Structure 1
Amino acid sequence: MSETMTRNKYGSDMEKPVKHKNMASGKEVLGHALGGVGQNTVYALWSGFITAFYTDVFGMNPAVMAGIFLFARIWDAVNDPMMGIMADRSKSRFGRYRCWLLRMPAVVAACLVLNFTVPHFGTMGNIIYAAVTYILMGMAFTSVDIPYWSLPAAMTSDPTERTKIFTTATLGTNLATTVGNMLIPILLVAFGGTGSAHAYFMTAVIFAVVGCSLYLTCFGLVREHVQAPTEKFSFALAFKSLFTNKPLFCIMITNLVINLAFIMKMTLNYYYNNLIDF
């Protein structure tokens, strides 16, 4: 926010804030935060309970499940930058990033429900189904996640305002994670118990509807005020830089390790709470 000098009634200089035309309103800041609530509502169920669903309800071998998770994390190393390029190159009357909050929420919701559905394709067929739907869910989630967190840069050019938007969104995501992790076990019990496929399916439907609705609310309330310059980008050059740029390569490997550690943590949390009675 810029400052201009004005004079008070005593004739002394004082600073008066002037709001830029491209600054986000309070409604837009709230709308962006609601998008974060929707995002983590979905993520709380998917990341926190998919492991228990796969082993206890789906009947998947833990080693097979670990293989699916590992492949998905490796694929993320390709999918994430690819999605970032697609978002940056988007051209829409709704804006560069905001349009993804209209296009993809229904896809994310559908993928979430499919992840918590038990098909009847036989042992190998079910494993293929789980692998495909899990990876598709990761891709769908990324297609909203990257544009969502890129949106503040298009909402305002003021660094202070961007910080406010990020801070408010972080509060929203933390709230959604906390409340979601409290509600999920309650809903599972209400719909038939933690060993019931129907319970997971119904819980997924509820969380999918809530998450999708909040994504769309974010789309409706937020506007892009800053037009970023379009730069030519080579995916081949970016992919090559992953291996030639040592600091970037270290960051990529570190991110992969962190993601694997996070999956292990979420898995152990469930089994400590439910099997070891911690």
Structure 2
Amino acid sequence: MSSKTADTQAKNFVGKKELWMFSLGGLGQGMIYAMMSSYISDYYVNILHLPLMFVLLLMLLARVWDAINDPLMGIIVDRHETKWGKLKPYILFAAAPVTILTILMYVSPNMSITGLMIFSAVVYVLWGMCYTMADVPFWSFPNVITPNPDERSHVVSFSKIWNSVGSALPEIFFFAFGMILPKLIDSSNPEQYNKNLYRIISVTVVVIGMALYINSYFHIKERAVPPPTKKVEGEPSTLSRIFHCKPLILVIIMGILSSGRYMVQAAAIHVARYAFYIPTGKYKGVDLASLSYADRVAAIDASVGLVKTVFQICAIVGMFGATLL
């Protein structure tokens, strides 16, 4: 290794402001992803009353498509570079479609069940594709933000912590809004109230989250950009390389085996709704059976928000501990 290369790898390039702006961008992205992954199944099943089997199949098939879509996005990013940069432009390219589709996810158009199923499936799959455009380049950015491998590791671990914090914020919003909104909007019709609750929180989350995500674009720099790769005649294809790279195969297997954690995340709200009840606020010490239907729904929703928040805080503490290790 030349002395110049050694000096480069020992030097720190990322200032505190840039590190924080990138991490807050990760926090915003975590908010938006959690708004989808933690609540969309509850919204589809309990609010839109879509068939449970349809929701399960939709999410399964979308994950299968993600397994194809994510590597394709990686190949596109790897082989192309724009005049605005290699990775940064995708932050802006993805912002509008992810914002619109996240809000559309929690829209309840006046349609038949079949129409709602088609509408929900199209929006859900398109959201996944657009989110990939936001996700893959963003979390590849630490590779180009600094040529220093130690500093790169610090950027990844620090930003992932804040990404996990962002994942908890929608739960906190649900808990807080569940206490406040019944005083501000009509809650006599629980179904319509819950539709409004989801709509208000989704807009709040996407506005705050996307503002933080877009803001990172203006504060981060690409410093170690590799040249675009071009296929050489006779060179093995990307797919062929995957199946001949044992470390990568092990990483893929590990990802498949650990995918159960996403099932836990998606199931948490259902566990919170049906397995636990913790009275909060004015409902402390009050028997659910003595409440009106509207108050009972409000009390259960407040409990769901609290239990889900506790689950998420535990997950953050666990991830923080793992990061320290």
Q: Same fold (TM over 0.5)?
A: yes
Aligned to 1:270: 269
Per mean C-alpha deviation after superposition, the further-off stretch among 180-189 and 66-75 is 180-189
CA distance in 2, matches of 1:205, 1:48: 16
**CA–CA separation in structure 1 for the residues paired with 2:54 and 2:98:** 24
Q: What does 1:25-40 align with in structure 2 at a 5 Å threshold?
A: 25-40=15-30
Query: Structure 1 117/67 Cα, relative in aligned 2: closer, same or farther at 3 Å?
Result: same
1:110-139 C-alpha deviation (Å, 9 max, x unpaired): 111111111223111111111111111111
2:204 alignment partner AA: I
Q: Is the partner of 1:221 in helix, strand or coil?
A: coil
- Determine the structure 2 residue equivalent to 1:213: 211
1:201 alignment partner in structure 2 = 199
Instruction: Measure the CA separation in 2 of the matches of 1:66 and 1:90.
Output: 36
Output the aligned Cα RMSD. Answer: 2.9
Q: Using the TM superposition, give the Cα deviation of residue 254 of structure 1 relative to its aligned residue in structure 2, in angstroms.
A: 4.9
Shift of 1:265: 1.2
Compute the displacement of 1:17 (Å). 10
Identity of aligned residues (%): 25
The yes-or-no answer on 1:24 pairing with 2:52 is no
Q: TM-score, normalised by structure 2?
A: 0.72
The alpha-carbon deviation at position 91 of structure 1 amounts to 2.0
* Per-residue deviation, residues 133-189 of structure 1 (Å, max 9, x unmatched): 111111111111111111111111001211221122012112212333222232255
Asked if structure 1 preserves the Cα contact closer than 8 Å seen for 2:73 and 2:133, the reply is: yes
The structure richer in strand per residue is: 1
Give 1:187's aligned residue: 177
AA at the equivalent of 2:220: V
Equivalent residue for 2:145?
155
Residue deviations 1:174-222 (CA, integer Å, cap 9, x gap): 2212333222232255445784212111111111111111111100111
TM-score by length of 1: 0.84
Alignment partner, residue 83 of structure 1: 73
Question: CA–CA distance in 1 between the matches of 2:246 and 2:140?
Answer: 25
Unaligned 5+ segments in structure 1 are: 5-15
Q: Is the 8 A contact 2:8 2:148 kept in 1?
A: no
Matches within 5 A, 1:1-278: 20=11, 23-188=13-178, 190-191=180-181, 195=191, 196-233=194-231, 237-240=237-240, 248=248, 251-252=251-252, 254-256=254-256, 258-259=258-259, 261-277=260-276
Would you say how many aligned residue pairs link Structure 1 and Structure 2? 263
- Structure 2 unaligned regions, length at least 5: 278-325
Report the CA distance shift for 1:227/1:122 in structure 2 as closer, same or farther (over 3 A).
same
**Structure 1 CA distance for aligned equivalents of residues 218 and 174 of structure 2:** 28
The 1:209/1:90 distance shift into structure 2, 3 A limit, reads: farther
Query: Residues 18, 75 of structure 1: CA spacing in aligned structure 2 closer, same or farther, 3 A cutoff?
Result: closer
